[in-house]
Structure 1
Amino acid sequence: MSAAPLRTGSLRARTVVAVLVLLAVLLGLLSVAVEATLGDRLRTQIEDRLRDRASAAAALVGTVDADDLADRLSMQGLAVTITTSDGGSVEAGPTPEQLRQGPPEPPGLSGPARPGGSTPARGSATADGAPGSADVAGGQVSITSSSVREEGRLVTLVSRLSDGSTIRLTAGTGSVDEVLGELRWVMLGASAVFLLVAAVGLVLVVRRTMRPLDTMTNAARSIAHGDRGRRLRPARRDTEIGRVAVAFDEMLDAVEGAEHQALAAEARMRAFLSDAAHELRTPVAGIRAAADTLVRTPLGPAEREDLAVHVVRQAGRAGRLVDDMLLMARVDRGLELDLAPVDLGAVTRAEASRARLRAPELRVEVVEPSGAVGVSGDDDRLGQVLGNLLENAARATGGSGVVTVAVAVEDGHGVVRVTDDGPGIPEADRERVFDRLVRLDAARDDRSGGAGLGLPIARGIARAHGGDLVCAPGEDTTFVLTLPVVVPAPTLA
């Protein structure tokens, strides 16, 4: 299943657009909130002025007739309807339809009414109908109840007086709508200018903010063109871009290390194939020459037997080399081990006996502790490791030296030391002997030298068990096999 393609839209553009959209939404919400708050406040002021007019009218009831009072109230740009206690009705001022269309409101509406040049006292009547009193000197009429109703673009206040009359005052909200309209256009223009300035500032800020990404892009392209050693090395590692840069450098280090390992592995493989071909060419050439002689040349019985023995010997040598190469390949791929409790002392004694049979003049001494040394391992593979070490020791001593095999328990590990009294291994060659197809100059002849795969195979098997095989420093040649997980002796019984 293929992964979804990575979105490659401009990060700068998306950031600028996202921030501008967010700012536009916030400005829109702010405009709506301001308009709603201001509109509510202006309408409340109109209601308060209507109550002031109603209180002033209540103070004049009884001192002027209804027609005069209605004319005075209508001069404030209000639609006035006065219903007297005897059922009569007086109307003055513009009609509600004219107020709804928004006629200009006279200046007197912007402040408290002052009929007759006097300042009326404000009553305490509220919109919910709570009774109040005008408390004007000489006035005996008060407001018993009042109610406010807003419909369309009109605000109507109905006040009932204590003498039974009713005053209806209606004011238009056209001025409020005009103010809110002007405010709306001002907010729209200011928001447009603000967004334009914000867009320019965001482009500059985002461009500067995204500059490290351009640096990373240039570095990646430079590395792709061969500058493998280039790194970002961020000054701060605790920021978002710093963490990305650190991860980028770590990835490059890993890629470069993998590239070096791959090149080194390829070089080792080429060298191994070259050495293996060289090693196989010698026995194959010997077999071909002997076979050609046997076929083309008339020989006596003794000569034919010598050539046949030579063919067998060279074929065996080539077969051993092929077997070792196949085993080395299995070690590289990962050996399948049949793990079980194994007594290192028993394995050592068995391999020492085989070494004595192969080289009768070789003196093999086994040193063991009093108890069993048990490890979890593959009996056959561990025997192959010890067999390779003893064969290497016999080859180094010419088949007639002294080899000491010491088995011990150290720090919870089973340890086997194989020491011979041969010429020893130089310090510079103690690690090189574990390379494939490597033989020291003193052991290059066909009779005493192997193919150079015994020690690499032995180390590979040891490491497959979780242990190791090393060549210890010292005058004598000592190989140390270490295996983990010591098994208690009763388990081996």
Structure 2
Amino acid sequence: MSDTRPLRAGSLRRRTIVAVVALVALLLIVLSVVVDVALGARLRGQIEERLRDRAAAAASLVGTVDDEDLAERLSDQGLSVRIDSAGGDSVVAGPSPEQLRDGPPGPGGPGPAERSVPLPSASTDVSVVASAVTGDADLVTLTSTLSDGSTLSLTASAAGIGETLGQVRWIMAIASVGVLVVAAGAVTLVVRRTLQPLDRVSEVARSIGAGERGRRLHPTRSDTEIGRVATALDDMLDDVTGAEQSAREAEARLRVFLSDAAHELRTPVAGIRAAADTLVRADLDGPEREMLAAHVAREAQRASRLVDDLLTMARVDQGLELTRSSVDLRTIVAAEIERAQLVHPSLQVSSVVPDAAVPVRIDAGRIAQVLSNLVENAARATNGRGTVVVEAAVTGGAATVAVSDDGPGVPAEERERIFDRLVRLDAARSPSGGVGLGLPIARGIARAHGGEVRNVPRDAGARFELTLPVSD
């Protein structure tokens, strides 16, 4: 079943460029999201690490520095500090969390800079027992429980993370646009160069349509996409060119055949017409009238035989309808020998057949017609007075019937041409000869049975062999 769906003929170049640029844009978006998430997590992690370091350092000072002094030292680093002692007292220092939301404080209040005030080193037995991190997008709070029972809460501003991520996002956006522009230009050039072979395919196809039938692509490789397309196109063009040439040759042969057939028919028709006019117009009696009547009958028979041969040739071309049956090929050979002896009394016809049966499944009437054509051809070649031998045998799983004569034979260069229509060799012509359709009809019938008729070389005379498949 043929596919009648229309081919989507959108621009392959444009679709490829759009697909590649879209893929690059998608990858850039994914990369930007990954960078944004990773960088944000990293910056927030750095704040948490700083708070943990400050908490551990502050724990080492508990007991050596009072809570107010410790809170003041921690707040100088831009942190909001709250110390809840084990006795229930609380100390608060530094900017409030609301102030930290606007940004980390500097020397004069909230601002972009933080002062790094180192804590004095000390060594006590107090340490951080547990820590918990809470907060939101603008604040990070570390609540640490110390081993002496007190609680230290440190809050740092995370507003700088948003500012940093905003700057990175702008940089990524501008860089992505630049990358997309460069990628679009590069992909356009690469795709244009890559698809140049398709342009050549189109050019060759148009030139062939314009009449240059000999042009081909001849790809250097046939295992690539372009190579497979070019190879398929070359094969198709070879087939089309061959079919076109065959069609022209067939048309030429048909015209020659029709011309020759008309010429062959014109001869007996002209003879019949002339004899009929003489019979009608002339007052003839006796032998002359009988001679003209016999001439009319003879020419009518010749024309009828030619018409029958033409009809048979047409049926061979269209495909013969065979009525097959299992027969012994020797019976057909025997019947043809008997017929030839009656029709050509001066012809010496003999047969050589095996003792065992030669079983074949054939249309007996058609194969008898083939054998009759071969014997008649031999009779004409010997002017009806030569020697004809019909041999039947089974060789290599095929039944063979050979018809040999002692006539002039067939030249080597004519052995295939004699199977063309309306071809007659001068040596085989006689006043009552055929019109050159017997051998083409014989070969057509044989091939319809899955066999063949061929002229084989022989030292003297001609030999034609009919081969047929042997039935099981």
TM-score interval w.r.t. the shorter chain? over 0.9
CA offset at residue 349 of structure 1? 0.8
Q: Is 1:86 matched with 2:87?
A: yes
8 Å Cα contact 1:435/1:456 also seen in 2: yes
AA aligned to 1:97 is E
Q: Is 1:232 matched with 2:217?
A: yes
Cα distance in 2, alignment partners of residues 383 and 418 from structure 1: 13
Distance of aligned partners of 1:470 and 1:2 in 2 relative to their CA distance in 1, 3 Å threshold: closer
Cα distance in 1, alignment partners of residues 91 and 442 from structure 2: 124
CA offset at residue 151 of structure 1? 2.1
Tell me which residue corresponds to 1:457: 441
Cα distance in 1, alignment partners of residues 370 and 406 from structure 2: 20
SS class of match (1:403): strand
AA aligned to 2:448 is A
Q: Is 1:108 matched with 2:134?
A: no
Q: Is 1:29 matched with 2:33?
A: no
Distance of aligned partners of 1:140 and 1:462 in 2 relative to their CA distance in 1, 3 Å threshold: closer
CA offset at residue 61 of structure 1? 2.6
8 Å Cα contact 1:408/1:415 also seen in 2: yes
CA offset at residue 11 of structure 1? 1.5
CA offset at residue 106 of structure 1? 3.4
AA aligned to 2:433 is G
Tell me which residue corresponds to 2:356: 371
CA offset at residue 379 of structure 1? 1.2
Q: Where does structure 2 lack aligned partners over 5 or more consecutive residues?
A: 105-110
Tell me which residue corresponds to 1:414: 399
CA offset at residue 49 of structure 1? 0.8
SS class of match (2:115): helix
Cα distance in 2, alignment partners of residues 178 and 184 from structure 1: 10
8 Å Cα contact 2:350/2:389 also seen in 1: yes
Q: Is 1:241 matched with 2:242?
A: no
8 Å Cα contact 2:381/2:429 also seen in 1: no
AA aligned to 2:419 is F
8 Å Cα contact 1:462/1:469 also seen in 2: yes
Moved more, 314-323 or 324-333: 314-323
Match of 2:312 among 324, 327, 330: 327
Tell me which residue corresponds to 2:452: 468
SS class of match (1:107): coil
8 Å Cα contact 2:450/2:468 also seen in 1: yes
Moved more, 93-102 or 28-37: 93-102
- What is the correspondence of 1:29-428 to structure 2 with a 5 Å cutoff? 29-103=30-104, 104-108=111-115, 114-115=118-119, 118-119=120-121, 136-137=122-123, 139-300=124-285, 302-428=287-413
AA aligned to 1:452 is G
CA offset at residue 389 of structure 1? 0.8
CA offset at residue 3 of structure 1? 2.0
AA aligned to 2:32 is S
Match of 2:464 among 479, 488, 492: 479
CA deviations over 1:172-200 (Å, ceiling 9, x no partner): 21111222222222222222222222222
8 Å Cα contact 1:363/1:400 also seen in 2: yes
Distance of aligned partners of 1:105 and 1:78 in 2 relative to their CA distance in 1, 3 Å threshold: farther
AA aligned to 2:437 is L
8 Å Cα contact 1:342/1:374 also seen in 2: yes
* TM-score, normalised with respect to structure 1: 0.89
Moved more, 265-274 or 73-82: 73-82
CA deviations over 1:422-480 (Å, ceiling 9, x no partner): 222222222221111112224445x3211211111001111111111111222211111
8 Å Cα contact 1:284/1:315 also seen in 2: yes
8 Å Cα contact 1:160/1:167 also seen in 2: yes
8 Å Cα contact 2:380/2:429 also seen in 1: no
Tell me which residue corresponds to 1:133: none
CA offset at residue 161 of structure 1? 2.5
Cα distance in 2, alignment partners of residues 152 and 183 from structure 1: 17
Cα distance in 1, alignment partners of residues 6 and 447 from structure 2: 44
Tell me which residue corresponds to 1:131: none
SS class of match (1:108): coil
AA aligned to 2:405 is D
Q: Tell me the matched-pair count.
A: 464
Cα distance in 2, alignment partners of residues 155 and 471 from structure 1: 106
8 Å Cα contact 2:137/2:159 also seen in 1: no
8 Å Cα contact 1:76/1:106 also seen in 2: no
Q: Is 1:438 matched with 2:423?
A: yes
Moved more, 69-78 or 381-390: 69-78
8 Å Cα contact 1:398/1:448 also seen in 2: no
SS class of match (2:88): coil
CA offset at residue 140 of structure 1? 4.3
Tell me which residue corresponds to 2:107: none
* TM-score, normalised with respect to structure 2: 0.93
CA deviations over 1:323-354 (Å, ceiling 9, x no partner): 11111111111112222322222111111101
RMSD over aligned Cα atoms: 2.0
8 Å Cα contact 1:100/1:152 also seen in 2: no
SS class of match (1:169): strand
Tell me which residue corresponds to 2:108: none
Cα distance in 1, alignment partners of residues 66 and 428 from structure 2: 143
Structure 1 vs Structure 2: percent identity of aligned residues? 60
SS class of match (1:141): coil
